[in-house]
Each structure stands twice: as structure tokens, then as C-alpha cells.
Structure 1
Amino acid sequence: MTATSELPADGRLRPRRGGGWAAYLPTPTVQCHAANLAWLPGGDLACVWFGGTQEGVADISVHLSRLPAGSDTWLDPVVLSGDPTRSEQNPVLFSAPGGQVWLLYTAQVAGNQDTSEVRRRVSRDGGRSWEPPTVLFPAGGGRGVFVRQPPVVLASGRILVPVFNCVSVPGERWVGNEDTSSVWWSDDGGQTWTEAAVPGSLGCVHMGVVVRQDGSLWASFRSRWADWIWESTSTDDGTTWTEPTPTPLPNNNSSIQAVALGGGVLALVSNPTSAADATERRVSLYDEIDDEGIREVDGPQVAEPQIDPDRQTAFWGVPRAPLRLSLSPDDGRSWPVFLDLETGDGYCMSNNSRDGLNRELSYPSVLPGPDGDLHVAFTYHRRAIKHVHLPADLVAGLLAAAR
């Protein structure tokens, strides 16, 4: 296993075993996490993630790097957020109607996700410069709001932004036990928004929306219970949703992402593990943080949680590996073909990046290229963002097997 200190984090794409190319993006911070890929106007490939000392600390900010069209090397990142009082996380880039590029991200106080609001910055020159941030979806009513997956624009022009709601429980610190999902939709280009709650979505988060061939919507969810990837559908442009139900695909209470490749084929990247594969359990996502928001990173903060037998609780600590690409030929109804992009033990009983304790391969973003190729970016041990570029012939072979 390659030590993270030895990674060639120079952004250069190099041939990878199994075909295609891979690069470790230039990442100057101790911790890096939660990548998202997007195409920018003009053809550059962009990647955003959050970086800093450690998740939940106020020096966590959004970073953006770009791979210029025709180039084999990612550029040094620029920092796009800098609130000294909040941890700014889960960035998403979105090509909005009218030629705008939106950056959406979350801003929370320390490890308290129930304080999170969703902020937006707008670029009118293809991501070169950005307007000051504004609050798109505020916290309130006992819940914080988080984004993770890209917005979707429907044929009608409606914009859908899937979110998850981090709900406060009186007398308890947030640990994810009461989280639910919603979709915010706008029919006027993002000027006004209406929330559509997903019924029965307790424990279903990181909702991602895909448009099926028949125009209906299919959504996939990460599970706080670390059991399965869950799914829901909508037949009225996201105004209402069915209650989520489990798929046969395992989930480890870590992020997934799915995208349509055309012709009813979907690509999904995830960790195919669950609580059934775990030998240890963490109290929560976050290591200890003191009153000033400074994370204690001297070692794993692991203890036996107090579990109420009459209440389902979030499961943290399932290994976040391998990182798997799965393909569906029928709009997400079956997943007969898969390819493991990266393997390892996926240890994630601590988020400590300073001492290299975390070895997760997680939080994938998957994006089709213009020539039938496929791009994936993900967290590598929380010390780097790795980009894998699969060529069109390799993807075509997988698609042929899926069909």
C-alpha cells in the first residue's frame, strides 16, 4: 500500500493498471474530502472538494481545481470559501440555465450538522470569478440542511436540488439518527424555491436524482443504518416522491453517486459494504471537538455507543472500501456488471488525517465524458483527491456486458 506522503499529488494523469489514467490532484491541506466533478463552459473539467485540518474545524474550506481541455495535468486549486466561524463542506458545481455556474456548499458550526445552511456562489464567466456567497437554504426549525449531489434540470426547465435534513433532538448532540431527505425545486431559474419532502425517508440521505428514459425520476440514497442503498421515484417532475425502499446493493453509511449514460444505462459508484461487514463501531462521524471548534486529533475517538433497542440509530465505522463502479442496463432496476476501481481495507474509525489514521476510499463523483469515456473522483485516505479516467473502449466493453 502506498503511503499518502509518497503520492505524486502533482495533478498529472498517468497510466493506471487495468486501463485508463489516474491522477492525484494538487491538495495542499492536511485533509481532503467530498469531491464533485463538473464540466465547465469551454470544456474544462472541474473538481471541487473540501480541505483543511479536519472535518468540522472552521479552517475547512471549498477548493476548486480544473483540468484544462486537452491537458493531462490538473491546475493548482483555488479556495472558494473562507468563513472563519464555520466548517464549509460538500461542494457541488452546477451549470445553471443562462450560462451561470453555481457553487453550492454547506456551512456548519463545528461538528453540528444540524446548524448547517446551504450557501451559493455564482460565476458568470465560466468559473473564473465568483460573486459573494448568499444563503440559498437556511437552517431553522430544528434542522440543518446539507447538499451532496448535483442539481438536475428537467425538460420543463425545472431545477431540482436534492438535500438532506440534519435534525436536532432536544438534549442530544447531532449524530444522524433523525436525518431525512427533501427536494427543493424552482420553476423560475432559481429565484424562488419550494420544498418537496420525501415521505418515509428517515435515515435516507445524500439523495441523488437521475432522469429515466421515460421521463420519470429515480433517486438513490445513502443509508444511515449502513444496510442498503435505498431508492425512490417520482412521476410528476419531483413534486412528490414514493417512500424509499431498499435495493439489493449494500451501503456502509457513506456517499454514493449515480449518473445516466444514455439508452437507459446508469453508472453508480459506491462502497459495497455494510454493517454486516463491520467489526467495530464509532460513536459518530466526528471525533471530539472542544468548545472552540478545535478537533482533538491525537487518536481514534472510539467508544461503545449507548444504543436504544427501541430506536434505530446511525451506524458509523463500516469500512469504506473497495470503491466500485456498477452498471445498470435498465434505469437502475438491476446492476449486473461491476468493476472495482480501487481496493484497500477502508479503515475509517477515525477522521485523523494528520497522523494518517484514515484509509477510506470514498465519496465518489462520476461524470460521463464527451466521447463515451467516464471520469470518477474520490477521497483517497482523506489525504488526497484521486481522479480516474476510464477510456471509451473500456467503458464500451462494460456497457456491452451490462446489456
Structure 2
Amino acid sequence: MQFTPVLAPRADDPARTEAFIPTPAVQNHAATLHELPDGTLLATWFGGTQEGVPDISVHLARLEPGADRWSDAQVLSDDPTRSEQNPLLWTAPDGALWLLWTAQLGGNQDTAIVRRRISRDGGRSWGPITTLLDTPGLFIRAPIVVARDGAWLLPVWRCTKPEGGAWTGDLDTSSVMVSEDAGATWVEHPVPDSLGAVHMAIVDAGEDYVAFFRSRRADFVQVARSADGRAWSAPAPLALPNNNSSVCAARLASGRIALVCNHSSRQDATGRRLSLYDDIEGGEEEAQVSEGAFWGAPRAPLTLALSEDGGRTFPHRRNLEEGDGFCMTNNSKDKLNREFSYPSVIQGRDGRLHIAFTFWRQAIKHVTLHEEWAL
């Protein structure tokens, strides 16, 4: 397949435009999108040979206002000892652009810390790399949300290693890190009964805050609510399947909530992996199949779902990509993976939705459409 960087209408669906973001890496995964005040669209993701390998680094590309082609990728991290993953972008109230990401030792997510770089010229140049959160095992996926009282809410989850074995995801729990001093200090607020609910994505739903979670058990998308962003209800299943893969959500100008996820679960699986990292050196020897986290459920289709009741129900659903979603390996050199996963969705200033996601672990795809596409 040819991965073209030029945005163009899809031949069989002209209501959407799409392009692949240029990258020098063999494997590309976990993209996030962010729009600057001037309308420039930024995409960041991690790339290298394979997730968990120390050559995995953070990449950034730009789509300038009025342009129809993504820029070449810029590498923004390069720690030869750690796999640097799950980057996200966020513009602080003072106008500074933050880049956050995780940095772990090999396939051991329980060793991850959260790093940060700051740009004051829209991502054209960056300050030094610093550590934002140094507690081992903290992971991020969704950006900071500014609460109505001005506090900063950063959703995280804790990757906990079981006694006598490698990290498997079985013991992961979610929290919200809250800063009331512009990011200088952070206080952790655990989400109660959140075992197996991760990748927390917070949305201000108007009446309250709602958060959507990936389920390690590969059953259903989980949802929790909060009045202040600090005290949360326990995650409960939503009537949307989940395959132990990332979800993303955004509140739209219309008041609807857009949720992008894989409409599949362990019920659709034809096989099961030992762990996320069972295909990197040493991973298979340490991993054991457990009754907790389920790995290997198909990562397809990729679905855009819309809610009109604050995220309680999602009656409007339409698939962005369809396929078998094979993800029994993360080895991109052999090009066996066929997942569509790890979506990021934002609404641009012109009202269009921008969605980026992993395409077969080989590329990051960018799709643009109006929300009416899914109605």
C-alpha cells in the first residue's frame, strides 16, 4: 500500500478526506492531534522498530493552515536506554505548548516515568527534556483538562508489577493528577474500583465531567462521572464493546460527545497473546496468560460513535475502517499486524472532526470529516 501524505477525498466516500503522515520509522503508533490558535494542526506519535525497544522515540509533524500535505516528521526524544511512548500535546492557559510522554525500560511499563518538553513558538523549537512525574509505572494517554475552578486535571494509570513476575496489565488502576499551581506540583486522586480500567479520557460534559476508559478485560468501554474532576464514581460498563485498546473522546460544539473506539471485544478473538510484549526478546519467557488482562482481541473495526445525552448512550455509530484487526504480533518488520487503533479525535475551528489513528502499526492515518457523517 502507498502511504501518501497529501490530503484528498476518499474515492469511495468523498465526504471524508484522508492522508498518511510521513514517517521514517518501521513502526508507528499512539498518535495524538492538537490544533494551534492559528489553525496549524500538529500530530505526535511514537516510532521506531517496535514498541518496548529503546529506539522508540517521539515524533512530530505539522499541517499548516491551507496546506494539503503533512510535513516530514521531527524527532523530539532519543533516550537510548528507554522506550519513549504515548506522546500528547496540550496548550497551557499561558499559551505554552506542552509535550508529554512516557519513558520505560524495555517492555516493563511498571518502570515508566512521565517526561515533558515545552515550546513557546508553536512547536518549532523546544526547551529541554524534564521529568514531570517520576513515580515509576505512571502512564498517560489523554491530555490535560482545565477544570472550571482552574485546576489542571491529568488522567493517568498505574502500571503495577505483580510479585514474582513481569508486568501484565492485570493490576493497572487509574487516577487523576491534579495541579492547582500551574503544573508545579501534583496531587493524585485515585479513581475508586478502577482495576483494569485505563487510558482515562476526561470530557467536560456540561453538567458534570465524564471519563471513558479502556478495559484490560477486553469486554466493554468503561465510564465514570465526577462533579469536580477529583472525586469519581467507580467505572461501569458502557453499551460499547472494548478490546483492551485505547479509546478517545471529545465534546463537540453541537453539545454531542464523539467517541472513537474499536467496536470489538474478547468475544471476537480467534486467539490470545501472552502479553503486550510477548514478541520482544525475553518477553515470552516471563509472560503468563492470566484471568485479568486479555491481549489479542481484534483491533477493528474502528468506529466513530456520537452521544446526545452526555455520554450515557451512543446511538449513532459508523465505522471509519474495517478489517480483521489482526494484532497477535507487534512486529512491524514482517508487516503482519493489521490493526486500526489508538485514535485521537478533536474538532477544528472550522467545525470539522480530525481523527488520527494507527494503521497496521506501519503508519499514522489522518481523516477529516463532519460529525453529520456518522448521523
TM-score after normalising by structure 1: 0.90
1:15 is aligned with what amino acid? P
Q: Distance in 1 between matches of 2:91 and 2:321?
A: 29
* Residues 206-221 of structure 1 mapped to structure 2, 5 A cutoff: 206-214=199-207, 216-221=208-213
Deviations 1:234-253 (Å, cap 9, x if unpaired)? 112x1211111111110000
* Residues 83-232 of structure 1 mapped to structure 2, 5 A cutoff: 83-140=79-136, 144-214=137-207, 216-232=208-224
Aligned match of 2:251: 260
**Does structure 2 retain, via aligned residues, the 8 Å contact 1:281–1:316?**
yes
Residue 313 of structure 1: CA displacement? 1.2
1:147 is aligned with what amino acid? I
2:215 is aligned with what amino acid? S
Q: Distance in 2 between matches of 1:203 and 1:86?
A: 25
Aligned match of 2:362: 383
Are residues 1:54 and 2:50 paired?
yes
1:223 is aligned with what amino acid? S
Residue 7 of structure 1: CA displacement? 1.7
Aligned match of 1:15: 9
* Residues 240-319 of structure 1 mapped to structure 2, 5 A cutoff: 240-290=231-281, 305-307=288-290, 312-319=291-298
Q: Distance in 2 between matches of 1:172 and 1:195?
A: 26
**Does structure 1 retain, via aligned residues, the 8 Å contact 2:161–2:168?**
no
2:81 is aligned with what amino acid? T
Bigger mean CA deviation after superposition, 225-234 or 366-375: 366-375
Q: Distance in 1 between matches of 2:247 and 2:373?
A: 23
**Does structure 2 retain, via aligned residues, the 8 Å contact 1:372–1:396?**
no
Q: Distance in 1 between matches of 2:339 and 2:357?
A: 10
Q: Distance in 2 between matches of 1:124 and 1:15?
A: 34
**Does structure 1 retain, via aligned residues, the 8 Å contact 2:165–2:286?**
no
Are residues 1:239 and 2:215 paired?
no
In angstroms, what is the RMSD of aligned CA positions? 1.6
1:48 is aligned with what amino acid? T
**Does structure 2 retain, via aligned residues, the 8 Å contact 1:283–1:303?**
no
Are residues 1:321 and 2:313 paired?
no
Q: 1:157 to 1:285 in 2, by over 3 A?
A: same
State the aligned residue count.
Answer: 373
The equivalent position to 1:64 in structure 2, one of 56, 60, 63, is 60
Deviations 1:134-174 (Å, cap 9, x if unpaired)? 1111134xxx0100011111232211100011001121100
Q: Distance in 2 between matches of 1:302 and 1:261?
A: 46
Name structure 1 gaps, 5 residues minimum: 1-5, 296-300
Q: Distance in 2 between matches of 1:355 and 1:372?
A: 39
Aligned match of 1:348: 327
Residue 304 of structure 1: CA displacement? 10
**Does structure 1 retain, via aligned residues, the 8 Å contact 2:166–2:286?**
no
Q: 1:115 to 1:303 in 2, by over 3 A?
A: closer
Secondary structure of the 2:240 match is strand
Aligned match of 1:298: none
Residue 287 of structure 1: CA displacement? 2.9
Residue 290 of structure 1: CA displacement? 3.6
1:80 is aligned with what amino acid? L
Residue 188 of structure 1: CA displacement? 1.5
**Does structure 1 retain, via aligned residues, the 8 Å contact 2:39–2:349?**
no
* Residues 10-49 of structure 1 mapped to structure 2, 5 A cutoff: 11-16=5-10, 17-18=12-13, 19-49=15-45
Secondary structure of the 1:262 match is coil
2:319 is aligned with what amino acid? D
Residue 41 of structure 1: CA displacement? 3.5
Deviations 1:381-401 (Å, cap 9, x if unpaired)? 0000000011x4xx2364xx4
Q: After TM superposition, what 4+ stretches of structure 1 lie above 2 angstroms from structure 2?
A: 287-291, 301-307, 395-398
2:216 is aligned with what amino acid? R
Aligned match of 2:349: 370
Residue 89 of structure 1: CA displacement? 0.2
2:140 is aligned with what amino acid? V
Residue 303 of structure 1: CA displacement? 12
Q: 1:158 to 1:360 in 2, by over 3 A?
A: same
2:48 is aligned with what amino acid? G
Are residues 1:396 and 2:375 paired?
no
**Does structure 1 retain, via aligned residues, the 8 Å contact 2:275–2:287?**
no
Deviations 1:121-146 (Å, cap 9, x if unpaired)? 11111111111111111134xxx010
Name structure 2 gaps, 5 residues minimum: none
Q: 1:171 to 1:201 in 2, by over 3 A?
A: same
Bigger mean CA deviation after superposition, 195-204 or 367-376: 367-376
